[in-house]
Amino acid sequence: MLTLSGEAAQVVHRLWAAGAGKLRCPGVGARGIIGRMTDTAGQGGGGGFRDGAQDGFRGGEPGGFQGEGPGASEEPSLRERRAAALRGARRVLSRAGWRGTLRERLAHLQEAAPGVYDLDEPTDLYGDRIVAALEERVAALLGTEAAAFFPTGTMAQQVALRCWAARTGNPVVALHALGHPERHERHALSQVAGLRPVILTTEHRQPTAAEVAEFPEPFGTLMLELPLRDAGFLLPTWEELTETVEAARERDAVVHFDGARLWESTVRLGRPLEEIAGLADSVYVSFYKSLGGFGGAALAGPTSLIEEARTWRHRYGGTVFQQFPTVLSALVGLDRELPRLPEYVHHARVIATALREALATAGLPWSRVHPEEPHTHEFQVWLPYDPDTAAEAAIRQAEETGTMLFANAWDTAGPGLTTTEVTVTEAGLIWTPEDVKRAVTEFAERVRLLKD
């Protein structure tokens, strides 16, 4: 028997009602709704599951759906070869824990967990005990009155935005066209939460204060993704951010930060986490994107909002019976990875400079590192080739030399252009500029062989 969560049950109920008792969707064939939900074909605007085997996961960490980024249309054989090459590589810029085996993941948690929580305490039940401890830790880090744990960021942000809409009386959410809800959530804000997203800008940069101030219709909430991943993990300056927030305040709008990667934003913004979060009325943070947790997210803000959010979390099916493995992994990430993120950001800038210089020296025309000085420990690389050529060259380099310079998938960025994401974490700290230049030379040799 198939049991659905609260949110999924709502979706099925709506489909049933819309089809007068026939559980069908336009374009759904004999496989029915479940076949559609597990379809691997990308569908634009965040449709279709991303290649879950390995490299639909972007930027060195998982993201969820196909069509969201590099690797969305790769052949399975290419993904499998990349995964095998990465496992066998001796030198990489990042070795994300989620790429490991079940045994490795459990062993790491078993080794680290005793240092972050008393394992002789009772387990959690529906969000108490260790879950409550994590919530208190997050609220303290972000300087908010309270925080609530959620199984996913998609759920956390829907809940936050619908709560604000009820309070402001305005269901309109102003955000960037590249924001996660617009690109990767199957239009959940409108289809599930009943909100109306409007686009501030389509430019590959953060929205400006002028765009917020001059937007031609009222909106109840301004949503800012910090950093903006699909534009190249871009952040504003502190002055730009404060001006944009103030522009929203002058329009009587509340401000919500999509802070999935807020943890690593302190270097660029030059402020501690609590001061950054203090600009917003509510903030969402992720525990797996940069901290290496098993999953999970938190919504932080005023106590009254978080209490209401807990009610909606239950309605969405997000009040899970027991969550201690995921919560333990989040606590480990806060203890071990969070303090190291500034170091990763600084070294990512060293790597990016060496990459830019080496790509030019290697004779690869129109290569780009974006942004030239990374705002976080992640950035983009653009090359004038098709994705398969770049992917094949990266995999061959790893197979033949044991060095994997580009461990993530490549995606079409335009006619004759491809892009990938580079992440620098602990494994990359040993790389010198000379190491980068040598790796680029090896990569370029294999690109030329494939093009000849």
Peptide bond before residue 151 is cis, with ω within 30 degrees of 0: no
Bridge partners, residue 256, by sequence: 223, 282
DSSP 259: E
3-state DSSP of 363-391: CCCCCEEECCCCCCCEEEEEECCCHHHHH
> Measured in Å, how far apart are the chain's first and last C-alpha atoms?
56
Lowest mean pLDDT among 227-231, 271-275, 362-366, 379-383: 362-366
Mean of pLDDT values over 250-271: 98
Mean of pLDDT values over 210-216: 98
pLDDT reading at 7 higher than 60 = no
Q: Is 392 helix (H, G, I), strand (E, B) or coil?
A: helix
Over the stretch 439-451, which tens digit does the pLDDT of each residue have? 999 999 999 999 8
Mean of pLDDT values over 35-50: 30
The closest of 432, 434, 414, 416 to 424, measured between CA atoms, is 432
**pLDDT (0 to 100) of residue 56:** 36
**pLDDT (0 to 100) of residue 106:** 96
Who wins on pLDDT, 64 or 79? 79
pLDDT confidence tier of residue 71, bands split at 50, 70 and 90: low
Residues 6+ away with beta carbon under 8 Å from 402: 88, 89, 90, 91
**pLDDT (0 to 100) of residue 331:** 98
**pLDDT (0 to 100) of residue 72:** 53
Mean of pLDDT values over 114-121: 98
Region of 224 please: left (phi>0), alpha (psi -120 to 50) or beta: beta
Mean per-residue pLDDT of the chain: 87
Kindly state the tokens that stand for 6: 């609260």
Kindly state the tokens that stand for 14: 């709506």
Query: Which residue do the tokens 């956390």 mark?
Result: 156
Residues 6+ away with beta carbon under 8 Å from 75: none
Using only C-alpha atoms, what is the Rg of the chain?
A: 22
What is the tally of helices (H) and strands (E) in the chain?
A: 17, 13
Bridge partners, residue 383, by sequence: 418
C-alpha 195/C-alpha 191 separation (Å) is 8
AA identity, residue 38? T
pLDDT reading at 22 higher than 80 = no
Over the stretch 296-337, which tens digit does the pLDDT of each residue have? 999 999 999 999 999 999 999 999 999 999 999 999 999 999
pLDDT reading at 115 higher than 50 = yes
pLDDT reading at 45 higher than 50 = no
pLDDT reading at 35 higher than 50 = no
Bridge partners, residue 149, by sequence: 298
Who wins on pLDDT, 41 or 430? 430
Residues 6+ away with beta carbon under 8 Å from 106: none
Mean of pLDDT values over 238-245: 98
CB contact at 8 A, 219 and 195 = no
Region of 386 please: left (phi>0), alpha (psi -120 to 50) or beta: beta
Find the helix packing angle between 433-451 and 341-361, rounded to 10°.
50
C-alpha 90/C-alpha 86 separation (Å) is 8
Q: Are strands 254-259 and 282-286 parallel, antiparallel or unpaired?
A: parallel
Q: Which parts of 337-428 fold into alpha helices (H)?
A: 341-361, 387-401
C-alpha distances out from residue 270 to 191, 214, 266, Å: 38, 28, 5
**pLDDT (0 to 100) of residue 245:** 98
The closest of 85, 102, 10, 93 to 436, measured between CA atoms, is 93
Q: Is 414 helix (H, G, I), strand (E, B) or coil?
A: strand
Q: Would you say the C-alpha torsion 222, 223, 229, 235 has a positive or negative sign?
A: positive
pLDDT confidence tier of residue 57, bands split at 50, 70 and 90: very low
Bridge partners, residue 297, by sequence: 150, 286
Query: Which residue do the tokens 């449709």 mark?
Result: 47
pLDDT confidence tier of residue 27, bands split at 50, 70 and 90: very low
Q: Would you say the C-alpha torsion 155, 157, 197, 45 has a positive or negative sign?
A: negative
C-alpha 213/C-alpha 15 separation (Å) is 39
Q: Are strands 297-301 and 282-286 parallel, antiparallel or unpaired?
A: antiparallel
Find the helix packing angle between 433-451 and 387-401, rounded to 10°.
120
CB-based burial of residue 116 (10 Å sphere; 0-12 exposed, 13-18 middle, 19+ buried)?
Answer: buried
**DSSP secondary structure string, 10-34?**
HHHHHHHHHTTT----TT--TTHHH
**pLDDT (0 to 100) of residue 363:** 87
Percent of the chain with pLDDT over 70: 83
